[in-house]
Chain A
Amino acid sequence: MNQDSFIRSLRGELKGLDPHEIEDIVADYCEYFRDGIASGRTEEDIASSLGNPRHLVRELRAESSIKQWEERKSGGNFVRMLGALVGLGFLNLILLGPVLAIITVLFALFVASIALLIAGVAALLVAAPGSGLDQLVTINLPDLDMSSEDSAAFVGLILVFVGSAWTILNYYLSKWTGTLLIKYARLNFQLIKGTA
C-alpha cells in the first residue's frame, strides 16, 4: 500500500465524521508520510508500519464520539458513542447485556415520565372551563370524584409536577450512566496493548 491508497482507505473509513475532523486527521497522516519519506523510508514501508486504517479509524471514532458526548449529552450522541465502543470491542457481548438492560430501564423511565406529563396535561385540559372535554373523557378512580373540575385540575397539576421531576431525574441518571461508561472505556483504552 502506498500513501495514496492508505489515505484513500483512511478517508473511506472516516466517512460520516465531522468534515473538519476528517481533514485534520488526514493532514496528520499526510504529515507523517512526509516526515517518513524525508527520513528515507518508502511509502510502502511507512504505510505498513502505520497499520490498518480500519483499526486506526475505530479508535479515532471512539475518541471523537466520546468527545462529542462530553460536549453535548444528547441521546443521539449517546447511541453513537455506544456504537463506536462496541466497534472497538470494549463492550463485549457479556457486558453489552447489562448495558442494554440499563438503557432499556432508562428508556422505560423516560416513557413513563412522558406518559405522566401527557396525563397531567390531559387532566388540566379536562378541568379547563368550557373545554367540553369533560364530556369526552371520564376518569374513574375509586377515591376521586373526577366530575368536579377542581379535583381534575388538582390531579393534573400533581401529574405534571411529578412528570417534570421524573424527567429531570432521568436526565441526570442518563448523564451519569454515560459518564460511567466513558470511565470504563478509558480504562480499557489504557489496558489495550500499544501494538496492533
Chain B
Amino acid sequence: MKTQLKKGVLEMCVLALLEQHDSYAYEIVSTLADSVEMSEGTIYPLMRRLQNDGLVSTYLVESDAGPPRKYYRLEAKGLETLQAMKSEWSGFLAEVNKIVGANKS
C-alpha cells in the first residue's frame, strides 16, 4: 500500500533507515519508494535540512566509476531526535487504534 506521508513522518523514516546503516540519497529514496509515495527530488532539501540541524553528517566514498558518492550518517543528535519521534509516533498510533478499534485481539 502506498501511503502519502507528512514531511515529519518522512523525516522519521529517513532517520530510521540511517539508524540501520549509512546510506546515499538514491538508496534512501528507493527503499522508501516501495512503501511511501514521495517526490524523489525532495530528498535533497530534506537531507540538507537534517544536515543543517546537525542530525546527520555526510562523507564521500570513492566509487569504481565516476565521481565519489555522498553518504549520510546518523549523528548522536539525530538518534536522539529519532527516539523522541518514535515514541511520539507509537503513542499516536496507540491512541488512534484505541478509537478505530484496530489490534483488538
Which A residues are within 8 Å of any B CB, using their own CB? Answer: 25, 27-32, 34-36, 39, 46, 49-53, 55-56, 59-60, 63-64, 66-67, 70, 189-196
Contacts and interface: CB of A to CB of B under 8 A. Distances in A.
Contact of A194 (B39, B48, B66): B39
B26 A56 contact: no
Chief secondary structure at chain A's binding surface: helix
A31 B67 CA distance: 8
Q: Ordered nearest first, which 7 A-B pairs have the shortest CB separation?
A: A35-B26, A50-B41, A59-B45, A196-B39, A51-B41, A190-B8, A194-B10
B8 A49 contact: no
Contacts of A46: 40
Contacts of B11: 190
A34 B26 CA distance: 9
B16 to A, nearest CB: 15
Interface of B: 4-11, 24-27, 30, 36-42, 44-45, 48-49, 52, 66-67, 69-70
Contacts of A27: 67, 70
B11 to A, nearest CB: 7
15 contacts: A28-B70, A29-B41, A30-B67, A31-B24, A31-B69, A34-B67, A35-B25, A46-B40, A55-B41, A66-B52, A189-B7, A190-B8, A193-B4, A194-B6, A196-B39
B26 A36 contact: yes
**Considering residues A30, A46, A56, which has the most beta carbons from chain B within 10 angstroms of its beta carbon?**
A56
A131 to B, nearest CB: 53
Given A28-B25, A31-B26, A60 B48 contact: yes
Contacts of A66: 52
A102 to B, nearest CB: 25
A30 B68 CA distance: 11
B24 A35 contact: yes
Given A31-B25, A31-B69, A51-B39, A60 B10 contact: no
A58 B24 CA distance: 23
B45 A56 contact: yes
Contacts of A32: 25-26, 40, 44
Given A35-B27, A63-B49, 19 more contacts: A27-B67, A28-B44, A29-B44, A31-B70, A32-B40, A34-B67, A35-B24, A36-B26, A39-B30, A49-B39, A51-B40, A55-B41, A56-B42, A63-B48, A190-B6, A193-B7, A194-B6, A194-B7, A195-B37
